[in-house]
Protein backbone atom coordinates (compact mmCIF):
# COMPACT_ATOMS: atom_id res chain seq x y z
CA UNK A 1 0.00 0.00 0.00
CA UNK A 2 1.30 3.45 -0.98
CA UNK A 3 0.20 6.54 0.95
CA UNK A 4 1.22 10.06 -0.02
CA UNK A 5 1.19 12.68 2.71
CA UNK A 6 2.15 16.33 2.57
CA UNK A 7 4.08 17.85 5.46
CA UNK A 8 5.46 21.39 5.43
CA UNK A 9 4.76 21.59 1.66
CA UNK A 10 6.94 18.48 1.06
CA UNK A 11 5.44 15.34 -0.42
CA UNK A 12 6.47 12.28 1.62
CA UNK A 13 6.03 8.74 0.34
CA UNK A 14 4.55 6.51 3.06
CA UNK A 15 4.52 2.76 2.53
CA UNK A 16 2.84 -0.08 4.40
CA UNK A 17 5.18 -3.03 4.02
CA UNK A 18 7.15 -5.79 5.74
CA UNK A 19 10.14 -4.84 7.86
CA UNK A 20 12.75 -7.33 9.07
CA UNK A 21 15.07 -6.29 11.90
CA UNK A 22 18.40 -8.03 12.50
CA UNK A 23 19.96 -7.45 15.93
CA UNK A 24 23.42 -8.78 16.85
CA UNK A 25 23.34 -10.35 20.32
CA UNK A 26 25.57 -8.65 22.92
CA UNK A 27 27.08 -6.40 20.26
CA UNK A 28 28.04 -3.71 22.81
CA UNK A 29 30.21 -6.22 24.70
CA UNK A 30 32.46 -6.79 21.68
CA UNK A 31 35.65 -4.85 21.10
CA UNK A 32 35.65 -2.12 18.45
CA UNK A 33 37.62 -4.30 16.05
CA UNK A 34 35.24 -7.24 16.59
CA UNK A 35 32.20 -4.97 16.05
CA UNK A 36 33.59 -3.71 12.75
CA UNK A 37 34.63 -7.20 11.65
CA UNK A 38 31.27 -8.83 12.32
CA UNK A 39 29.18 -5.96 10.86
CA UNK A 40 31.21 -5.92 7.65
CA UNK A 41 31.09 -9.71 7.35
CA UNK A 42 27.34 -9.94 8.08
CA UNK A 43 26.52 -7.17 5.62
CA UNK A 44 28.55 -8.72 2.80
CA UNK A 45 27.37 -12.25 3.57
CA UNK A 46 23.67 -11.36 3.73
CA UNK A 47 23.97 -9.35 0.51
CA UNK A 48 25.50 -12.36 -1.28
CA UNK A 49 22.81 -14.61 0.18
CA UNK A 50 20.02 -12.37 -1.09
CA UNK A 51 21.61 -11.95 -4.52
CA UNK A 52 21.73 -15.75 -4.88
CA UNK A 53 18.08 -15.92 -3.80
CA UNK A 54 17.15 -13.51 -6.61
CA UNK A 55 19.00 -15.25 -9.46
CA UNK A 56 16.01 -17.33 -10.56
CA UNK A 57 13.58 -14.40 -10.44
CA UNK A 58 15.88 -12.13 -12.48
CA UNK A 59 15.18 -9.35 -9.97
CA UNK A 60 17.64 -6.63 -8.91
CA UNK A 61 18.35 -6.36 -5.19
CA UNK A 62 17.02 -2.78 -5.15
CA UNK A 63 13.56 -4.03 -6.18
CA UNK A 64 13.45 -6.78 -3.57
CA UNK A 65 14.70 -4.70 -0.63
CA UNK A 66 13.82 -1.04 -1.08
CA UNK A 67 15.49 0.15 2.11
CA UNK A 68 18.38 -0.69 4.42
CA UNK A 69 18.66 1.20 7.72
CA UNK A 70 21.59 0.61 10.05
CA UNK A 71 20.92 0.54 13.79
CA UNK A 72 24.55 0.34 14.90
CA UNK A 73 24.17 -3.19 16.29
CA UNK A 74 22.17 -4.47 13.35
CA UNK A 75 19.94 -3.26 10.54
CA UNK A 76 16.43 -3.05 9.16
CA UNK A 77 15.51 -4.54 5.78
CA UNK A 78 12.46 -2.87 4.24
CA UNK A 79 10.84 -5.11 1.65
CA UNK A 80 9.04 -4.14 -1.53
CA UNK A 81 5.31 -3.78 -0.67
CA UNK A 82 4.52 -6.33 -3.38
CA UNK A 83 6.16 -8.91 -1.08
CA UNK A 84 4.00 -8.20 1.93
CA UNK A 85 3.86 -11.42 3.94
CA UNK A 86 7.31 -12.65 2.86
CA UNK A 87 9.09 -10.86 5.74
CA UNK A 88 8.85 -13.76 8.20
CA UNK A 89 10.26 -16.12 5.54
CA UNK A 90 13.19 -13.79 4.87
CA UNK A 91 13.77 -13.72 8.63
CA UNK A 92 13.93 -17.52 8.70
CA UNK A 93 16.48 -17.47 5.87
CA UNK A 94 18.61 -14.92 7.74
CA UNK A 95 18.41 -17.12 10.84
CA UNK A 96 19.58 -20.22 8.96
CA UNK A 97 22.51 -18.37 7.37
CA UNK A 98 23.63 -16.83 10.68
CA UNK A 99 24.13 -20.29 12.18
CA UNK A 100 26.96 -20.88 9.71
CA UNK A 101 28.54 -17.53 10.62
CA UNK A 102 28.68 -18.58 14.28
CA UNK A 103 31.10 -21.33 13.29
CA UNK A 104 33.50 -18.79 11.75
CA UNK A 105 33.68 -16.29 14.63
CA UNK A 106 33.81 -17.72 18.15
CA UNK A 107 32.77 -14.41 19.72
CA UNK A 108 29.63 -14.15 17.57
CA UNK A 109 26.64 -15.23 19.70
CA UNK A 110 24.05 -15.02 16.97
CA UNK A 111 21.28 -12.67 15.95
CA UNK A 112 17.75 -11.90 17.05
CA UNK A 113 15.20 -11.28 14.32
CA UNK A 114 11.82 -9.56 14.31
CA UNK A 115 9.38 -9.21 11.41
CA UNK A 116 6.62 -6.61 11.37
CA UNK A 117 4.24 -5.02 8.88
CA UNK A 118 3.98 -1.29 9.37
CA UNK A 119 4.30 2.19 7.92
CA UNK A 120 7.62 3.62 6.81
CA UNK A 121 8.25 7.06 5.35
CA UNK A 122 10.82 7.57 2.64
CA UNK A 123 12.88 10.77 2.63
CA UNK A 124 16.10 12.15 1.20
CA UNK A 125 18.92 12.59 3.73
CA UNK A 126 21.55 15.34 3.74
CA UNK A 127 23.74 13.33 1.36
CA UNK A 128 20.91 13.00 -1.13
CA UNK A 129 20.44 9.30 -0.42
CA UNK A 130 17.13 7.50 0.13
CA UNK A 131 16.40 6.83 3.79
CA UNK A 132 13.45 5.76 5.93
CA UNK A 133 11.80 6.61 9.24
CA UNK A 134 8.40 5.71 10.65
CA UNK A 135 6.36 3.98 13.32
CA UNK A 136 6.84 0.67 11.50
CA UNK A 137 10.56 0.70 12.29
CA UNK A 138 10.00 1.67 15.93
CA UNK A 139 7.28 -0.95 16.42
CA UNK A 140 9.44 -3.65 14.82
CA UNK A 141 12.19 -2.96 17.37
CA UNK A 142 9.72 -3.33 20.24
CA UNK A 143 9.17 -6.98 19.29
CA UNK A 144 12.74 -7.79 20.25
CA UNK A 145 11.90 -6.88 23.86
CA UNK A 146 9.95 -10.09 24.45
CA UNK A 147 11.48 -12.04 27.34
CA UNK A 148 10.81 -15.54 25.97
CA UNK A 149 12.89 -14.98 22.82
CA UNK A 150 14.71 -18.10 21.62
CA UNK A 151 17.79 -17.75 19.43
CA UNK A 152 16.54 -20.25 16.84
CA UNK A 153 13.26 -18.39 16.23
CA UNK A 154 11.92 -15.31 14.47
CA UNK A 155 9.56 -13.02 16.38
CA UNK A 156 6.61 -12.09 14.17
CA UNK A 157 4.16 -9.32 15.07
CA UNK A 158 0.43 -9.97 14.83
CA UNK A 159 0.23 -7.65 11.81
CA UNK A 160 3.08 -9.45 10.03
CA UNK A 161 1.60 -12.87 10.82
CA UNK A 162 -1.77 -11.91 9.29
CA UNK A 163 -0.01 -10.88 6.07
CA UNK A 164 2.13 -14.03 6.24
CA UNK A 165 -1.05 -16.17 6.26
CA UNK A 166 -2.44 -14.22 3.29
CA UNK A 167 0.87 -14.71 1.45
CA UNK A 168 0.68 -18.49 1.94
CA UNK A 169 -2.90 -18.55 0.61
CA UNK A 170 -1.81 -16.59 -2.47
CA UNK A 171 1.38 -18.63 -2.97
CA UNK A 172 0.32 -22.19 -2.24
CA UNK A 173 3.72 -23.59 -3.28
CA UNK A 174 5.29 -21.74 -0.35
CA UNK A 175 2.70 -23.21 1.99
CA UNK A 176 3.64 -26.68 0.72
CA UNK A 177 7.36 -25.95 1.07
CA UNK A 178 7.05 -24.66 4.63
CA UNK A 179 4.98 -27.70 5.57
CA UNK A 180 7.77 -29.94 4.28
CA UNK A 181 10.31 -27.86 6.21
CA UNK A 182 8.14 -28.38 9.32
CA UNK A 183 7.24 -24.79 10.13
CA UNK A 184 6.44 -24.39 13.82
CA UNK A 185 4.61 -21.61 15.64
CA UNK A 186 4.39 -20.72 19.31
CA UNK A 187 1.25 -19.71 21.11
CA UNK A 188 0.37 -16.01 20.94
CA UNK A 189 2.88 -14.00 22.98
CA UNK A 190 1.53 -11.04 24.98
CA UNK A 191 3.89 -8.49 26.50
CA UNK A 192 4.22 -4.79 27.24
CA UNK A 193 7.03 -2.86 25.58
CA UNK A 194 9.24 -0.35 27.38
CA UNK A 195 6.64 2.36 26.81
CA UNK A 196 3.90 0.26 28.41
CA UNK A 197 2.07 -0.57 25.17
CA UNK A 198 0.58 -4.03 24.73
CA UNK A 199 2.19 -6.11 21.97
CA UNK A 200 1.05 -9.39 20.44
CA UNK A 201 2.91 -11.78 18.19
CA UNK A 202 4.33 -15.27 17.90
CA UNK A 203 7.63 -17.05 17.48
CA UNK A 204 8.16 -19.15 14.35
CA UNK A 205 10.92 -21.54 13.35
CA UNK A 206 11.71 -24.34 10.90
CA UNK A 207 12.73 -27.79 12.08
CA UNK A 208 14.39 -28.24 8.67
CA UNK A 209 15.86 -24.80 8.12
CA UNK A 210 17.23 -23.39 4.91
CA UNK A 211 17.27 -20.40 2.58
CA UNK A 212 13.97 -19.82 0.76
CA UNK A 213 13.82 -17.80 -2.46
CA UNK A 214 11.09 -15.17 -2.93
CA UNK A 215 8.30 -15.63 -5.49
CA UNK A 216 8.77 -14.46 -9.05
CA UNK A 217 6.44 -11.46 -9.30
CA UNK A 218 6.02 -8.23 -11.24
CA UNK A 219 7.70 -5.70 -8.96
CA UNK A 220 7.13 -2.85 -11.41
CA UNK A 221 3.40 -2.90 -10.72
CA UNK A 222 3.97 -1.14 -7.41
CA UNK A 223 7.28 0.70 -7.49
Cα torsion 183, 146, 131, 118: sign: positive
Q: Report in angstroms the alpha-carbon separations of 212 from 29, 70, 95, 188.
A: 32, 24, 11, 25
CB 198 within 8 A of CB 147: no
Q: What is the count of structural domains for the chain?
A: 1
Nearest to 24 by CA among 84, 107, 111, 91: 111
**Is 100 part of any domain?**
yes
pLDDT, residue 222, reads 45
pLDDT, residue 53, reads 87
**Is 223 part of any domain?**
no
pLDDT, residue 219, reads 59
**Is 55 part of any domain?**
yes
**Is 220 part of any domain?**
no
| 217: exposed, middle or buried (Cβ count in 10 Å: 0-12, 13-18, 19+) | middle
- pLDDT in single tens digits along all 223 residues of the chain: 545 555 444 556 789 999 999 999 999 999 999 999 999 999 999 988 898 888 877 778 888 999 999 998 999 999 999 999 999 999 999 999 888 787 788 899 889 999 999 999 999 889 888 889 999 999 999 999 887 677 789 999 999 999 999 999 999 999 999 999 999 999 998 888 888 888 899 999 999 989 999 988 765 554 4
Q: Cα torsion at 178, 179, 180, 182 (round to 10°)?
A: 90
Cα torsion 133, 46, 162, 114: sign: negative
The whole-model pTM stands at: 0.89
For residue 65, what is the DSSP state?
A: E
CATH of the domain at 9: 3.30.70.1230
**Is 171 part of any domain?**
yes
pLDDT, residue 223, reads 43
End-to-end CA distance of the chain: 10
pLDDT, residue 9, reads 44
45 three-class SS? helix
Q: Where are the beta strands (DSSP E) in the chain?
A: 2-7, 10-24, 65-70, 74-79, 111-124, 130-133, 154-157, 183-185, 189-192, 198-206
| 153: exposed, middle or buried (Cβ count in 10 Å: 0-12, 13-18, 19+) | buried
**Is 218 part of any domain?**
no
Which residue range forms the structural domain that includes residue 178?
Answer: 2-212
Amino acid sequence: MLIKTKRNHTMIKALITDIVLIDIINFSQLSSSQQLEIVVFLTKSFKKMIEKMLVNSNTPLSKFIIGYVSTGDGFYCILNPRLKGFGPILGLSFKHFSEHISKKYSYFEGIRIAAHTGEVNEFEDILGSKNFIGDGLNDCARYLEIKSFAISTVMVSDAAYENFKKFLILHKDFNTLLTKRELKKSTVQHFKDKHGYEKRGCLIWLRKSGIINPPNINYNSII
